[in-house]
Amino acid sequence: MKIAFVGKGGSGKTTIASLYIKHLQAQQKPVLAIDSDINQHLGESIGFTKDEVNSIPPLGVQIDLLTQVFKGKNPRLQSVRSFKRTTPPGSGSVLVSYHEQHEVLKSFEIEKNGIRLLRVGLPQDESLGEQCYHANMSGAEIYLNHLVDSEDQNVVVDLTAGIDTLASGMFISYDVIYIVVEPTAKSLGVFNDYTRIAKSTGIETAIFAIANQVTSEEELEYIEKTIGQKPIAVFPLSSYIRKTERGEQVPFSEIDTGTKEALFALNKHVQTHTKNWDRFYKNLIYFHMKKANKEPHLKLEEQIDPEFSLSEYIKNGMR
């Protein structure tokens, strides 16, 4: 299951994402974690050192290599240059399973105590002033759109803050998105903007709120009234979280009861979701056609294989 965390900058989305990863780790469930935030903090939050994080190449600056891998022998893709971030898989494309140790892709990750980590990476010096961070995020988008996972496998992604991921259509890469909100007007405004824009695409999405740093029933009621829904999990103001955010190494076993209950509620909600590969592939084609219509000279619509069914391909063991 591909799970993403997003929210206003400073809302605690990276903290909640890292806590959820540790929660899964404590249950001895393997996790594939992807840091796609411009502020690269997820790795250190889940137990990797800065040197370990920096030892793996960033997805965001290896686009040509990634596209070369996933292009495979797809006859509709004549070159790496013709491969776009929206290009959907087709006959001959390479898809990778959750546990697959692809000889090239494995170099992008590091593993520690049951957690595998990948990162998008920071903008390179030579690209500063020439391109936005979305170019870096396309590395994660391409990877996720060719990753085959099941409902009992955990892919946890820390997204860049705000509504940036809506600009590229990257939000369709996930089975469920959790927006971390605090009881403030600005934080809740991000939730309302995100859900409104996502809904305007006409695409069915699974987007839910997680409340963070809630200190009273009054604050919870304010959140519910402002966004029009009840958060699926409520994280209280926590001394444990405060300590970890200051960089203190506090054992996960010392987590407070309120935070622990919120993590179990979150995990229970994740388990209510199912994979729908047909819907996912349909959404990929939708966004690819939007790009094709904007750049008709590229003839990107010819990259779509009408004979290809992603769900059937997966059902047949990706053969």
pLDDT in tens, 129-150: 444 455 678 888 999 999 999 9
Write the CA distances from 205 to 143, 196, 287, 294, integer angstroms. 20, 11, 14, 24
pLDDT number for residue 127: 45
Query: Using 50, 70 and 90 to split pLDDT, how confident is the model at 164?
Result: confident
**Count of structural domains, the chain:** 1
pLDDT number for residue 102: 87
Indicate whether 210 belongs to any domain. Answer: no
Indicate whether 185 belongs to any domain. Answer: no
For residue 148, the cross-strand partners are 97
Indicate whether 146 belongs to any domain. Answer: yes
Token pair for residue 244?
A: 């970890």
pTM of the model: 0.93
Query: Using 50, 70 and 90 to split pLDDT, how confident is the model at 303?
Result: very high
pLDDT number for residue 166: 75
Indicate whether 226 belongs to any domain. Answer: no
Token pair for residue 151?
A: 């409902």
Write the CA distances from 94 to 89, 124, 231, integer angstroms. 8, 28, 38
Query: Using 50, 70 and 90 to split pLDDT, how confident is the model at 319?
Result: low
CA atoms within 13 A on the CB side of 253: 0
Domain containing 111 equals 2-175+273-315
Q: Residue 69: give its domain's CATH number.
A: 3.40.50
Beta strand extents in the chain (DSSP E only): 2-7, 31-36, 96-97, 110-112, 115-119, 147-148, 154-159, 176-181, 207-214, 233-236
Indicate whether 234 belongs to any domain. Answer: no
Confirm if 124 and 139 have CB atoms less than 8 A apart.
no
User: Where does residue 218 rank: exposed (0-12), middle (13-18), buried (19+ CB within 10 A)?
Assistant: exposed
pLDDT tens per residue across span 87-133: 999 999 999 999 887 888 999 999 999 999 999 986 554 444 444 45
pLDDT number for residue 128: 40
Indicate whether 214 belongs to any domain. Answer: no
Closest of 89, 108, 144, 3 to residue 318, by C-alpha: 89
Indicate whether 57 belongs to any domain. Answer: yes
User: Where does residue 161 rank: exposed (0-12), middle (13-18), buried (19+ CB within 10 A)?
Assistant: buried
Indicate whether 43 belongs to any domain. Answer: yes
